A = this chain, B = another copy of it.
Amino acid sequence: MYYIGIDLGGTNIAVGLVNQAGEIVKKTSVPTRAERPFEEIFADMADCIRKLLSETGVKESEIDSIGIGTPGCIDTEKGILIFAGNFKFGKMVDYRALMAKHFDIPVYIGNDANVAALAEAKVGAAKGKTNAIMITLGTGVGGGIIIDGKIYEGHFSAAGELGHIVLVKDGQQCSCGRKGCWEAYASVTALVRQTKEAMQANPDSIMNKTPLDAVSGRTAFDAAKKGDKAALAVVDRYEDYIAEGIADMINIFSPEVVVVGGGISKEGDYLLDPVRAKIRGQVFGSGLLPDREIVAARLGNDAGLIGAALLHA
């Protein structure tokens, strides 16, 4: 028995054939072009699935279920997208009905950050843990809550917007409409902003070898590793923002493990060791309880696809 996992992103749609061990047997992808009618997007997904089946020799009857990870707020029971924030995905889109036009296979849908957390909890960095929190540092700060090995969805499946808690009251404008959200300080978008500010304030910094419009989440980290003082200060403050938010999560959930995902997590212990040290004094019962684990995600960009495939469980 196999599972189809689909990671429906704003830019690309990744489709994978996943086995019972949660491993990708084969995967493919197509551009999303989110401005298109949704029928076309689903027709492309169906083509990808047929392609994977034909290339692997797996029969349609061997597919247990199709799981779709999507941005936005969803009704998991009905398989409907309620709305998708900044994405041009419309409102009240019936994913299940759209896929039923192509396959007579059960369809499950989940929020993209939630399914990534599920994948890390089942077969990734939090494997074997019962309660885990995953945060994904990217354009925004995504969150996923795993309780008793399952995604905690909340009412209207709207739980897990972990990036949208206020860290700096009346602070930076956040994309969600609030001011001072964690996301507005700990996302890679925020790191780029912080890097550019430091470059302009420190003309001597080697960060200025990078043109302003080419600054990425790596600019400050690369310069910091070379000992650049301004860059070290940016990285230190950025780690501070990450640590404060993770300490919040530990005080709220006391999870067995916090998984940190997103491209920046590839910095590994260079990022996480200072974060762990900063968190240590910030959590309730610090020194009296053992540290909760903080680890880098393991599945990278495949987490969404694998987690979607695991939604059936």
Contacts and interface: CB of A to CB of B under 8 A. Distances in A.
Interface in A100-133: 131
Interface in A210-232: none
Contact of A165 (B178, B241, B248): B248
A182 B305 CA distance: 37
B166 A284 contact: no
Interface in A49-88: 73, 82-83, 85
Q: How would you classify the secondary structure of chain A's contact residues: helix, strand, loop or mixed?
A: loop
B178 A247 contact: yes
Place the interface of chain A in its size category: 35 or more
A177 interface: yes
B164 A254 contact: no
A229 to B, nearest CB: 22
A244 interface: yes
A178 B282 contact: yes
Nearest to A163: B251
A167 interface: yes
A304 interface: no
A82 B288 contact: yes
Nearest to A145: B252
Interface in A245-270: 247-248, 251-256
